Chain A
Amino acid sequence: AQSVTQLGSHVSVSEGALVLLRCNYSSSVPPYLFWYVQYPNQGLQLLLKYTSAATLVKGINGFEAEFKKSETSFHLTKPSAHMSDAAEYFCAVRVYNFNKFYFGSGTKLNVKP
């Protein structure tokens, strides 16, 4: 069975500080992995995706994530937080050739001035 765990339902950082949002997955076959961002009262927007090419994936708005198979992790990072990064972030896994995505429960990022 596939599952996604996001550690920390709320993360707070200061503006300019490193952002680290954690995601661990379980999958019996090589997965496709995604990070999405959701601003209030909006749908989810794709930040980045891992599809078995480079293990370090760069996304929009300066975010990146590294796929570590040995740790079954796909943590999201950004070197310097901006106020506009305040949102909820979701990690998701999709198993190849299956039409199901498994989402983590989300992490709300708060950015303090």
Chain B
Amino acid sequence: DVKVTQSSRYLVKRTGEKVFLECVQDMDHENMFWYRQDPGLGLRLIYFSYDVKMKEKGDIPEGYSVSREKKERFSLILESASTNQTSMYLCASSLDSYSPLHFGNGTRLTVT
């Protein structure tokens, strides 16, 4: 069974801090994704990566960056956290273009 692990379930940070959200998958998947989930807005894609060191912007990349130095790990970085980045962040991976997404349990980030 695929396991996608997000390092923190809950995180509280202050405005202006640099924040790292970590995600690791154990199934050698090519593709990894970061979404944010907000009530009434569903899931919105921030960034995805289809290979090590490769990344593409999703629908809402502003204020975020990502890093994928190893195949199993995909990090989301908030360069300077702001209160409007308070949200649930979901990491996911998929084997290839045919395959479904497998999600981690999410990180609920609060920026005060």
Residues of B within 8 A of A90 (CB): 42-43
B34 contacts chain A at the CB level, 8 A cutoff: no
Interface residues on A, range: 20 to 34
Give chain B's interface secondary structure class: strand
A61 contacts chain B at the CB level, 8 A cutoff: no
CA distance A97 to B30 in the complex (A): 13
Residues of A within 8 A of B50 (CB): 99
CB of B102 within 8 A of CB of A99, answer: no
CB of B100 within 8 A of CB of A49, answer: yes
Residues of B within 8 A of A106 (CB): 42
Residues of B within 8 A of A92 (CB): 101
Which B residues have a C-beta under 8 Å from some C-beta of A? 4, 9, 31, 33, 40-43, 45, 48, 50, 56, 58, 90, 92, 94, 97-98, 100-106, 108
